Amino acid sequence: MPMQFIFKKLIYACCLYSIIPNLSLAQKSKVPIIIAEQGSFAVGGKILKQGGNFTLTNPLAAEGQTFHGDHAAVFYQIPQKANKWPLVFLHGAGQSKRTWESTPDGREGFQNLFLRKHFSVYLVDQPRRAAAGRSTIPTTIQPTADEYFWFSQFRLGNYPAFFENVQFPRDEASLEQFYRQMTPNTGDFDATVVSDALSALINKIQGAILVTHSQGGGPGWMTAIKNNHVKGIVAYEPYSGFVFPENEAPEPINSTGLFGPLKAQEISKTDFLKLTKIPIVLYYGDNIAEHPSDIWNKDHWRAGLEMATKFVALINQYGGNAQLIHFPKIGIYGNTHFPFTDLNNERIAEELSNWILNNQLAP
């Protein structure tokens, strides 16, 4: 190996230690990721046109002007020697693409973990959220104090106590990062608007594996129904938006959660059968009630897990390839609603990587 190359590597290592002092030894020793291409763009959306005529003498008047909105915002990175199918990541409620970028305590998120596995990654801010905040409908954003609710709803614990086995870092700095990760809608959530934008993205990149979280689950199913370039779906803790054929939807599932009974959405059987053509996996974490419970946050997710079980069973009944993996059942304990940012997120990433390989979606 040329001495000049060795010298450059030593300089890089010294700089890494000096400018990022809070990184762990394991993080500092990781091989740098080589990116062949990266960038960002908007995709999908609508154009509103105001009647009248635009004039330079009154440029702040709306007459005759256009408004581009309801698009998704996408940041992408393509590593050297990338696998054939990229991963498209869609966040959940109150979140943005930041949810995939890093963890609350500063470790690598799924963005980097899967770049290291040679997957191209596309991180999406859904329409009317974060960098895609230009909504075609108005809303009012109130600074509501609700963070202890989210602490409990997302199963870090029952505020102020963490769950005993939780895989969330318990230091104040990490908890502050968790709270500051929340971001509001700039217009009403609309699964059709989101799935339209996702479908436009899938068309643009000519196929991908779709990875969704929570509220993103519903738009994920809808995208695969609209677009046969979706090669597989990975859904972390979907709750609402489960679809079933007409006249085959289960009864609403009651819980002591705060949002009422969990209801299924009916679609045509023809559309539902499209979900049997691709591999699908759903993942759920820990501290979910096994039976009806007065502990509202655990019982909320019990209803979601029960609906997910029915959803997967019906897909497979019609000849599909769907799995539901409940982490405690395979010996992985303590995961919150965000398993991909928890302390064991590298193990969670390995589970997903194995599923991709087992379904022949990567070499």
CATH number, domain with residue 61: 3.40.50.1820
Query: Quick check: 9 pLDDT over 70?
Result: no
Tell me the helix, strand and coil percentages in the chain, rounded to 5: 35, 20, 45
* pTM score over 0.75: yes
How far apart CA 86 and CA 75 sit, in angstroms, is 13
114 and 8 together in one domain: no
SS (H, E, C) 285-299: CCCCCCCCCCCHHHH
Signed CA dihedral, 236, 241, 245, 250: sign only: positive
Angle at 71 between CA 337 and CA 211, to 5 degrees: 30
* Structure confidence by residue, pLDDT tens digits, 333-346: 999 999 999 999 99
Average pLDDT over residues 252-278: 98
Read off the DSSP letter of residue 155: T
The pLDDT mean for the chain works out to 93
How far apart CA 306 and CA 321 sit, in angstroms, is 18
Between 7-16, 41-50, 331-340, the lowest mean confidence (pLDDT) is in 7-16
Signed CA dihedral, 284, 290, 291, 296: sign only: negative
Closest listed residue to residue 341, CA positions, set 40, 97, 69 = 97
39 and 4 together in one domain: no
| Percent residues over pLDDT 90 in the chain | 91
19 and 40 together in one domain: no
How far apart CA 25 and CA 330 sit, in angstroms, is 29
Query: Quick check: 25 pLDDT over 80?
Result: no
101 and 5 together in one domain: no
44 and 21 together in one domain: no
15 and 127 together in one domain: no
Average pLDDT over residues 260-289: 98
How far apart CA 248 and CA 265 sit, in angstroms, is 10
Read off the DSSP letter of residue 274: G
* Structure confidence by residue, pLDDT tens digits, 208-256: 999 999 999 999 999 999 999 999 999 999 999 999 999 999 999 999 9
28 and 47 together in one domain: no
Read off the DSSP letter of residue 136: S
How far apart CA 253 and CA 96 sit, in angstroms, is 29
44 and 190 together in one domain: yes
Query: Which regions of the chain does DSSP assign to beta strands (E)?
Result: 35-43, 46-49, 66-69, 72-79, 87-90, 121-125, 157-158, 161-162, 208-213, 230-236, 243-245, 265-267, 279-284, 321-326
**Residue 363: pLDDT band by 50, 70, 90 thresholds?**
confident
Residue 189 lies in a domain: yes
The DSSP bridge partners found for residue 236 are 213, 283
Decide which of 29 and 182 is more confident.
182
168 and 162 Cβ atoms separated by less than 8 Å: yes
Domain range for residue 352?
A: 34-358
* Structure confidence by residue, pLDDT tens digits, 295-332: 999 999 999 999 999 999 999 999 999 999 999 999 99
Residue 161 lies in a domain: yes
284 and 308 Cβ atoms separated by less than 8 Å: yes
Closest listed residue to residue 288, CA positions, set 255, 316, 312 = 255
Instruction: Identify residue 156 by its one-letter amino acid code.
Output: L
25 and 38 together in one domain: no
How far apart CA 261 and CA 314 sit, in angstroms, is 21
Residue 363 lies in a domain: no
Listing DSSP states for 199-232 in one string gives HHHHHHHT-EEEEEEGGGHHHHHHHHHH-TTEEE
Domain tally, the chain: 2
103 and 187 together in one domain: yes
* Structure confidence by residue, pLDDT tens digits, 49-83: 999 999 999 999 999 999 999 999 999 999 999 99
Closest listed residue to residue 283, CA positions, set 342, 227, 226, 360 = 342
- What is the model's pLDDT at position 30? 83
The pair of three-digit structure tokens given for residue 192, joined into one six-digit string: 């059709």
The pair of three-digit structure tokens given for residue 332, joined into one six-digit string: 């992985």
141 and 6 together in one domain: no
108 and 186 together in one domain: yes
How far apart CA 304 and CA 242 sit, in angstroms, is 9
Encode 336-361: b = buried (16+ Cβ within 10 Å), e = exposed. bbbbbbbbebeebbebbeebbeebeb
